[in-house]
Chains A and B, each alone.
Chain A
């Protein structure tokens, strides 16, 4: 089973600052890595798929990078609505089994 580790657990930043979130896989997941945003009381929202592709309607300030075991989600300039929990997620090649990372909370400093 592939385990995802996210760091930091909490990121305290101010609006306008740059956020850099890390996701590390216990073995290579190629580029099968997605990022989701979840606000309190809401369902997760897909941000990034296949490591670096922005989902429909996602602002350009969100970007993803990486391959293999190390991935990064970057928010170039935090907007007030970006303070939330962010999860990475991977899929194993076969069988298609999915796992999520434990999440990174981005809160207001």
Chain B
């Protein structure tokens, strides 16, 4: 079945870096754009970034632009989010999600992982 499993979360000090991973299975990962979406404790959903199916294009929310980098390894069916210069407000549950139509950017996300938690604290 189609599945996304995030990992790599943890406690990180302000200003440091952390790399999140999302392992995909059950579909042709290299055909689909992928997203990162986060949710601060007790808050709503915030879109973070999208990467095209082939990794050639990336787009970011203003809140993370210049600090976070989305990337992918299609040979390993894995999505990444490199977070740097993290701030306390980056504390959240980070979800990866699939853009549902191959080889394009759609307007919604159809498959979600269960998330990995990032806590920024000294």
Contacts and interface: CB of A to CB of B under 8 A. Distances in A.
A100 B110 contact: no
Interface string A20-53: 0000000000001110101000111110011000
Given A87-B44, A100-B44, A102-B44, A43 B113 contact: yes
Contact of A98 (B44, B47, B112, B113): B47
Classify chain B: how many residues form its interface, as a range.
20 to 34
B114 A98 contact: no
Interface residues of A, number: 27
Interface string A75-109: 00000000000010111000111111111000000
A99 B47 contact: yes
A35 to B, nearest CB: 9
B112 A44 contact: yes
A34 B112 contact: no
Chief secondary structure at chain B's binding surface:
loop
A91 B45 contact: no
B95 interface: yes
B59 A95 contact: yes
Given A91-B107, A96-B105, A43 B59 contact: no
Question: In this complex, which of A33, A50, A100 has the most chain B Cβ atoms within 10 angstroms of its Cβ?
Answer: A100
Contact of A32 (B35, B45, B59, B107): B107
A103 B106 CA distance: 21
Nearest to B113: A43
11 contacts: A1-B62, A33-B107, A34-B107, A44-B95, A96-B50, A97-B47, A97-B59, A97-B61, A98-B50, A99-B47, A100-B47
